[in-house]
A = this chain, B = another copy of it.
Amino acid sequence: MAATTSLTLSHSALTRSTVPRHGCTTTTASQQSSLSIPTFSGLKSTIKSSTRANTRRQVPSTRRRVITNAAVETLEKTDTALVEKSINTIRFLAIDAVEKANSGHPGLPMGCAPMGHILYDEVMRYNPKNPYWFNRDRFVLSAGHGCMLQYALLHLAGYDAVKVSTCPLGQGIANAVGLALAEKHLAARYNKPDAEIVDHYTYCILGDGCQMEGIANEACSLAGHWGLGKLIAFYDDNHISIDGDTEIAFTENVDKRFEALGWHIIWVKNGNTGYDEIRAAIKEAKAVTDKPTLIKVTTTIGFGSPNKANSYSVHGAALGAKEVDATRQNLGWPYEPFHVPDEVKKHWSRHTPDGAALEAEWNAKFAAYEKKYPEEAAELKSIVTGVLPAGWEKALPTYTPESPGDATRNLSQTMLNALAPVLPGLIGGSADLASSNMTLMKIPGFVPYCATFFVFTDYMRGAIRISALSEAGVIYVMTHDSIGLGEDGPTHQPIEHLASFRAMPNILMFRPADGNETAGAYKVAVESRTRPSILALSRQKLPNLPGTSIEGTAKGGYTITDNSTGNKPDVILIGTGSELEIAVKAADELRKEGKAVRVVSFVSWELFDEQSDEYKEGVLPSGVTARVSIEAGSTFGWEKIVGSKGKAIGIDKWGSSAPAGKIYKEYGITVEAVIAAAKHLC
């Protein structure tokens, strides 16, 4: 068990053991098995296998037992004593690890060890030596604080270095819904009557805390709406929260709510020792193909601990040496810390060869599919590998100042329609209800986007942050990006949102000004598969400006017009999005008065920060302190760009309800204001 101490550190990433010490990359629980991959793993396999229909059950006879187990059919029961030993191994790996680090959450792993064992040892189809195998079953631990359960299972299953990060409660189940939706989408697009090449399940364990979160209800409502029959969620019903019994705050009927959301519900009353109940529930869940299934598993948190089980004291703290001994006594566990009994080791060891066989079987199936359906196979390959089709970016239109003006939200739609035919992986949806989980639909090669009003990022912020932390290249298409939306008023007018995302790590915040910049934003966003992008787009119509370009946009900040020489303008006017036009108009006026004026578009701060010092000096020469920025949002952060001698024009109060033109005037976001500020500085 590599890096035991790391494993025990927290319910977050094993960052120190598996990523550079200063790295910030972590992946969501499911992504231990869904990382984006350089090549289409395994497709080169040459293993032969039958390709007749329903090969899913056809495997070399030596593999039959595990495969049948995997399908939970005609189950030849593994000797129960061994199962119990395996389950206790999982419990004590969790107990010992949390004890050693004196930090972590032993309660859930102790209670959920039985369902965890059955899933990873009897049910799930995976290849521990290739976590990237496309058709593996997915698993998401939404109650991520119990991650020692997953670490123990991955360790026993034969996975090598592991890194897992858990989201704020509720995100994981939304993530699972996205993964199951992706499976259903790809199956519908690529499966053939004679070749079911996309065919895997998504499993999830969630706790009371997940159930309390609004995002979980949003995601599960959609899962029911979409009828995601291959989504099977286990609800660890242990009645204990960090504050004590859930009775203090959470007394709703969860089963009934999920029924209302269109789910199939099964209740396993004895999740502690009712192994057959759990097996039967999974079998029933698989039989229900038109609805997602919630298996409510009533468990005892901290099962096995004689004095702390079923109490909040076992939720998030080490048991303590005395209680660990008592638990060893109680469960009859004579072994040293971190010991895995030989028979358990031997029992689990089969997953390495069996997993290789499962993948080989599928690879053979795909090879046959490829012969028969070369076009579909190529398309699916490009989606799974994430290699963008050559020349895709040629589909992006460009514009001249003569092109008719339009709202950037409409230009965005033009881009999406232009890209759809050339990007098979482009997939997304609109409306604020879809976005909160669509953002987490991360599959290698998919280019997921979602759209809503920019102000509603306040509802999505948890999911957006996790996509940035998880390096999921989601494209957030956020319209109505300022007071420019007009009558909807202050509750819908973003003020602080641009600044709030510029401060967030690993995210690209774009505010394009016209057609070329919208195209440029899409070019970078589509290419950015490990960094999410937010496009803030206008409701109001904007003209196409001189000097804007896809190339310039890709640099984040660039000069669009300039009548100065020797990189010594009298003043630099800096704008973003809908205010770049104002900067251009102000420059025209100032030039009439003989000023040497440079206009800079600052469409993405993050991209500009990444340019060379020479490039930056060429756009914002340090010698020129006469700088005026204009942006219809908070001025917070603009001092970095305009300097202490410059002037940032913006809005540091709430908006109001009126036609856009009127509000701009009221709030002083005007050509006159820019001219006055510029004259004051030069």
Contacts and interface: CB of A to CB of B under 8 A. Distances in A.
A252 B260 contact: yes
25 contacts: A9-B657, A11-B489, A12-B657, A13-B489, A13-B490, A15-B657, A21-B666, A24-B656, A26-B490, A26-B491, A103-B487, A168-B458, A214-B217, A217-B217, A225-B249, A243-B431, A253-B260, A256-B256, A469-B490, A495-B505, A496-B504, A502-B636, A505-B652, A639-B639, A643-B644
A27 to B, nearest CB: 11
A634 B502 CA distance: 10
A639 B638 CA distance: 9
A10 interface: yes
Contact of A490 (B12, B213, B225, B432): B12
A450 to B, nearest CB: 13
A505 B494 CA distance: 11
Given A11-B488, A456-B462, 18 more contacts: A9-B657, A12-B488, A22-B656, A101-B487, A168-B455, A168-B458, A213-B214, A225-B252, A242-B431, A249-B431, A249-B434, A252-B262, A253-B261, A257-B260, A259-B260, A495-B505, A503-B637, A505-B634
B16 A658 contact: yes
A213 B459 contact: yes
B243 A225 contact: no
Contact of A261 (B13, B257, B458, B639): B257
Contact of A243 (B430, B488, B489): B430
What band does the interface of chain A fall in when counting residues whose beta carbon is under 8 Å from B? 35 or more
Contacts of A16: 656-658
A119 to B, nearest CB: 23
A395 interface: no
Contacts of A166: 491
Contacts of A167: 491
Interface in A4-48: 9-16, 21-26
Given A215-B214, A500-B499, A656-B15, A250 B433 contact: yes
Contact of A221 (B144, B215, B252, B459): B252
Contact of A10 (B103, B459, B489): B489
Nearest to A6: B657
Contacts of A305: none
A606 to B, nearest CB: 10
A165 interface: yes
B656 A491 contact: no
A9 B252 contact: no
Contact of A218 (B213, B503, B644): B213
Interface in A187-230: 212-218, 221-222, 224-225
Interface string A608-620: 0000000000000
A300 interface: no
A90 to B, nearest CB: 21
B24 A469 contact: no
B505 A503 contact: no
A458 B469 contact: no
A372 interface: no
Interface string A486-514: 11111110011001101111100000000
A520 interface: no
A490 B22 CA distance: 12
A254 interface: yes
A640 interface: yes
A10 B260 CA distance: 34
B492 A503 contact: no
A491 B466 contact: yes
A16 B15 CA distance: 53
Contact of A433 (B104, B212, B496): B212
Interface in A502-539: 502-506
B260 A24 contact: no
A251 interface: yes
A461 interface: yes
A373 interface: no
A451 to B, nearest CB: 11
B634 A503 contact: yes
B262 A251 contact: yes
A655 interface: yes
Given A249-B222, A666-B21, A490 B262 contact: no
A9 B487 contact: yes
A292 to B, nearest CB: 12
A635 to B, nearest CB: 9
A459 B168 contact: yes
A335 interface: no
A653 interface: yes
A225 B167 CA distance: 26
Contacts of A568: none
Interface string A277-290: 00000000000000
Interface string A126-148: 00000000000000000010000
A173 to B, nearest CB: 12
A465 interface: yes
Interface in A457-471: 458-459, 461-462, 465-466, 469
Nearest to A221: B252
A636 B461 CA distance: 18
